[in-house]
Structure 1
Amino acid sequence: MKLSPQSILLLLLFLFQPGIATNLYAQAPKEEKSVEVNSVRTNDTFHLNATNKNPYSITLTIEVSGDNFKLNTRQPVTKIIEPNSTKHLLSVFADDKEKNFKFNTSYKWIMGNTRASHNDSYIYSLPFSKGKSYRVGQSYDGDFSHNGNIRYSVDFMMPLKSQIRAARSGYVVQLKEDSNRGGKAEVFKDQSNFVVIEHEDGTFAEYAHLSKNGVLVELGQKVREGQIIGLSGNTGYSTGPHLHFMVLKVNEDGTNESLPVRFKTESGIVERFEEGKFYMAH
């Protein structure tokens, strides 16, 4: 058997990293942490593993090309990799063991679990303190800006620096709090402060327009439902102080899709808020 030293060329031809907060309001900052694909050789087989160094789940797709190689699975291979973890992707070996073989790899990954399925039986808490009541300025399909991929969003009108609480438990995966700019102009669309929390079913919740230095949690922190996570503000694309809330999932093409969810309020379960009406947290 003649096997020359093998080289794995990790061609990052398709590597990209869209952020979860890519709506009209919160544009996610670029992450310094990344994803690595490495190999471990056992005899004449190369085992490829991916390490996700980010605080959120990712979906990674990898393909292999080359000469005289064979895989232990069909390709392309797509895997969901949990935060700060390593997962085996595939194994590569010679098709004809009497000949040399070589292979190259290319992979791409996006933030989030594209196979996530929202738990529709879950009833969310209102994202503010029990006993507090705030007016809904814009509900699902709101005429001002709740359309397209953020159609299932809710704006709660509240004074600056009101306490914001987690509507559902999860892990903090993105945040921004360094902005003090806001207004009704295109230039402010990437100036919103926000917190993004990943839920156990792979969906995310976004809390946007927070005040400067108004994020009260840390990246990677586990938060429980009802925990204070920030202070409301008026940053980003905004016409006045309020909290923008929505639940979303990531599609296979990396785009975000907001989801309709139900909330528990002092007066019962609400499936769709009425604009102009006040709702009290239960």
Structure 2
Amino acid sequence: MNKIILCLCFCFLMSMGETCLAQSDIELRYERKSDNTVDFNYSKNVYGTYYLLIKFDDLTNAMQTSYGTHVSGHTGRFFTLKPKNPSSGIGFSYTYIYQRGRVNPRIKDDMVYMLPFKPNTKVKVQKAEYMGLTFGKGSPDNFNAFVFKVEKEETVVAARKGLVVEVEDKYKADTTQAYSFVRSANRVLIEHKDGTLAEYSGFKSGTINVKEGETVNPMDPIGIAGRFDSNKNCRLTLMVYYLKTKKLFDSKKEENKYNQYGYVNPIFCYKGGRSLLLPNNYYSSDCNDELITQEFSRREKKKYVSKL
């Protein structure tokens, strides 16, 4: 979720130098320059794209009260604060906030996803319910997620090419009891080229075989779908979503906190066709070279074809 960092050091005509904040996933540093501008640089110790937003308070000798942009590299220039009067320094205090994702990315309607299992795996598809409803809370306007049920442990594969940005593999299922839901599950988060995010959750403990920072291609193995309770069926949940607001400081308001993200209902390829998935239907996974390489570069396609 989003994280807010407060900088409480109110700065006027300080000597030139660099200041940073306490350790966090994204840190901002500022440096006063000889021309009285202030450079803000970021360092990021997590993978993937984030929207980073800064808001100034107690601002003197400058006009810009806020600034936001996407950051994806591990380090880089965020922006430069310029003085109204170049002969005087700038005074400010500031707060910054960041959230994973690219705001309102351009999503191709004809993008085709693979079912997240090896070819010829039979799956039953169900729609997942937003967990907040279980606790009497609100839910996003267009929440969409799929639960894929399989009869035994099966290898989970990437449904689309992307960058692995988060891996969580620390939960062991209690298979002695029956549960209607579980709060936590082993998961892999993958960022796609267009800025959408795919969360795969429900892996058997210790079976995730990808690492943060790796690129995966369609049909690359990610882990094993496991049981989460005494039910014999194994299941995997897949959710594709994107960040849809730049107003991160408004996210704690009741009317906004459930709708920071939008959700995608993808077209899937399966044996016998391509379409939106219908709940409570059975499908068999399938793939072909055209779909596997649909987001490959020319060089990647050439390398792939050479191995066929």
Q: TM-score, normalised on structure 1?
A: 0.77
* More strand by percentage: 1
Structure 2: state its 5+ residue gaps. 1-11, 246-250, 252-256, 288-308
AA of the residue aligned to 2:97: K
Larger mean Cα displacement after TM superposition, 61-70 or 76-85: 61-70
**CA–CA distance in structure 2, aligned partners of residues 156 and 79 of structure 1:** 36
* More helix by percentage: 2
Query: Can you list the C-alpha shifts for 1:230-252, whole angstroms capped at 9, x where unaligned?
Result: 10012389894111112111232
**Does 1:198 pair with 2:191?**
yes
Task: Write out aligned runs for 1:32-71 (5 A).
Answer: 34-43=25-34, 44-66=36-58, 68-71=60-63
Query: Can you list the C-alpha shifts for 1:190-229, whole angstroms capped at 9, x where unaligned?
Result: 2x11111110111111111110112110111111111001
Query: Can you list the C-alpha shifts for 1:136-163, whole angstroms capped at 9, x where unaligned?
Result: 2x13779xx8994484222221144311
CA contact (8 A) 2:20 2:28 kept: yes
Q: Alignment partner for residue 184 of structure 1, among 175, 179, 184?
A: 179
Query: Can you list the C-alpha shifts for 1:37-96, whole angstroms capped at 9, x where unaligned?
Result: 11233312211122222112111111223353225xx44211100142423223233x33
Q: Residue 167 of structure 1 corresponds to which residue in structure 2?
A: 159
| Cα distance, 1:258–1:180 mapped onto 2, change above 3 Å | same
Task: Write out aligned runs for 1:176-255 (5 A).
Answer: 176-182=168-174, 183-184=178-179, 188-190=182-184, 192-235=185-228, 240-252=233-245, 253=251, 255=260
**CA–CA distance in structure 2, aligned partners of residues 197 and 237 of structure 1:** 29
Q: Residue 80 of structure 1 corresponds to which residue in structure 2?
A: 70
Query: Can you list the C-alpha shifts for 1:115-138, whole angstroms capped at 9, x where unaligned?
Result: 3232222111111111222222x1
Q: Residue 127 of structure 2 corresponds to which residue in structure 1?
A: 139
AA of the residue aligned to 1:265: Y
Q: Percent identity?
A: 19
Larger mean Cα displacement after TM superposition, 238-247 or 39-48: 238-247
Larger mean Cα displacement after TM superposition, 116-125 or 199-208: 116-125
CA contact (8 A) 2:57 2:65 kept: no
In the TM superposition, residue 4 of structure 1 has moved relative to its aligned partner by 5.0
| Cα distance, 1:234–1:260 mapped onto 2, change above 3 Å | same
Q: Residue 127 of structure 1 corresponds to which residue in structure 2?
A: 116
**CA–CA distance in structure 2, aligned partners of residues 8 and 66 of structure 1:** 20
**CA–CA distance in structure 2, aligned partners of residues 4 and 221 of structure 1:** 43
Q: TM-score, normalised on structure 2?
A: 0.71
SS at match of 1:215: coil
Q: Residue 15 of structure 2 corresponds to which residue in structure 1?
A: 5
Q: Alignment partner for residue 81 of structure 2, among 91, 107, 111?
A: 91
Q: Residue 9 of structure 2 corresponds to which residue in structure 1?
A: none
Structure 1: state its 5+ residue gaps. 13-31
| Cα distance, 1:33–1:120 mapped onto 2, change above 3 Å | farther
Query: Can you list the C-alpha shifts for 1:160-206, whole angstroms capped at 9, x where unaligned?
Result: 431100000101111222211255256x312x111111101111111
**CA–CA distance in structure 1, aligned partners of residues 154 and 194 of structure 2:** 28
| Cα distance, 1:239–1:10 mapped onto 2, change above 3 Å | farther
| Cα distance, 1:129–1:47 mapped onto 2, change above 3 Å | same
CA contact (8 A) 2:207 2:223 kept: yes
**CA–CA distance in structure 2, aligned partners of residues 42 and 238 of structure 1:** 63
